[in-house]
Amino acid sequence: MLKNGFKAALIIVLALMLHKAAFAEVVNLPTEELAQESVLPVFDKPVSVKNRNVVTAGRFEVDGFYGYAMTEPIANVSKLGLGIYYNTSEAHAWGLLIAKNFAGLSSYADQLDQQFGLDFSRAPSPEMTIMGDYNLKAFYGKMSLTKSLVFNTLLYGSASVGAVKFVHKTYPAVAVGIGQKFYFTKQWALRFDLRLYANQAPIPFLNGALKPSDPKPDYNDFQERLTYTTNLDVGLSYLF
């Protein structure tokens, strides 16, 4: 037993000596063999999407939509519109939008009439909007709701220039926004657009002119100011 213990101690001592010798040696490499520069990996075909299910480049697109003026206090907040676009590439599209405003007043204007006897139908209201629209298509992808129900999606930014026509005058307008399409076939898509419009517009509040007992004002009596309106459009889009 003593003999076996002596052998075990000898083996441990030899192992420690070899371990120390292995880590004690310093390896010196020639300078010319060391890495002198770094490179980035190069991919042969850096294409994010190879096979698009929905191809838009070189195709026209027609939209029909309902518009809702989210920040309009007096005039009717609804309008119907039509748009036509040409997709010059998978990144850019150019189009024309025409929207016709509904007649009448908002629910808030009706409340003011009932409580204070203010008839805002005497004030000028918007009739139509015509805008040239540019879309920058930023992200294309897909969204799976079930194993068999998949939407291709398109997120884009928009910039528009055009005019807003009131009953007595037309004002130049600009708009910026963001939109999203959900293609449920290769041609049809649900389209959502949120735009912020900026244009000169008449102020519908005019002292001494809105009550039935007041003399009916001329539309030009209303003062004007720069007006911002947030508008949400929801509609259908067809590619052809």
| Domain-embedded: residue 46 | no
- pLDDT band at 211, cuts 50/70/90? confident
Say which CATH number the domain at 195 has: 2.40.160.20
Q: Given a cut of 80, is residue 231 above it in pLDDT?
A: yes
pTM: 0.74
The boundaries of the domain holding residue 128 are 53-239
| Domain-embedded: residue 8 | no
| Domain-embedded: residue 35 | no
| Domain-embedded: residue 193 | yes
**Residue 61: CB partners within 8 Å, gap ≥ 6?**
84, 85, 86, 87, 93, 95, 237, 238, 239, 240
- Element (H or E) spanning 183, and its range? strand 170-183
Q: Which residue has the higher pLDDT, 208 or 20?
A: 208
Q: Given a cut of 70, is residue 2 above it in pLDDT?
A: no
Coil, helix or strand for 142? Answer: strand
| Average of per-residue pLDDT across 135-143 | 88
| Interval 34-49: pLDDT, tens | 666 777 766 666 565 6
**Residue 65: CB partners within 8 Å, gap ≥ 6?**
80, 81, 82, 83, 99, 191, 193, 233, 234, 235, 236
- Element (H or E) spanning 19, and its range? helix 2-24
| Interval 212-227: pLDDT, tens | 888 888 998 999 999 9
| Domain-embedded: residue 66 | yes
Nearest Cα to Cα of residue 54 among 228, 189, 226, 214: 189
Q: Which residue has the higher pLDDT, 8 or 89?
A: 89
* Surface-to-core class of residue 190, CB atoms within 10 Å of its CB (0-12 exposed, 13-18 middle, 19+ buried): middle
| Domain-embedded: residue 18 | no
Number of structural domains in the chain: 1
Q: What percent of the chain has pLDDT over 90?
A: 53
| Domain-embedded: residue 44 | no
pLDDT value, residue 136:
94
Sequence letter at residue 131:
M
User: For residues 231 and 222, what is the distance between their CA atoms, to the nearest angstrom?
Assistant: 24
| Interval 68-113: pLDDT, tens | 999 998 999 999 999 999 999 999 999 999 999 999 999 999 998 8
| Domain-embedded: residue 9 | no
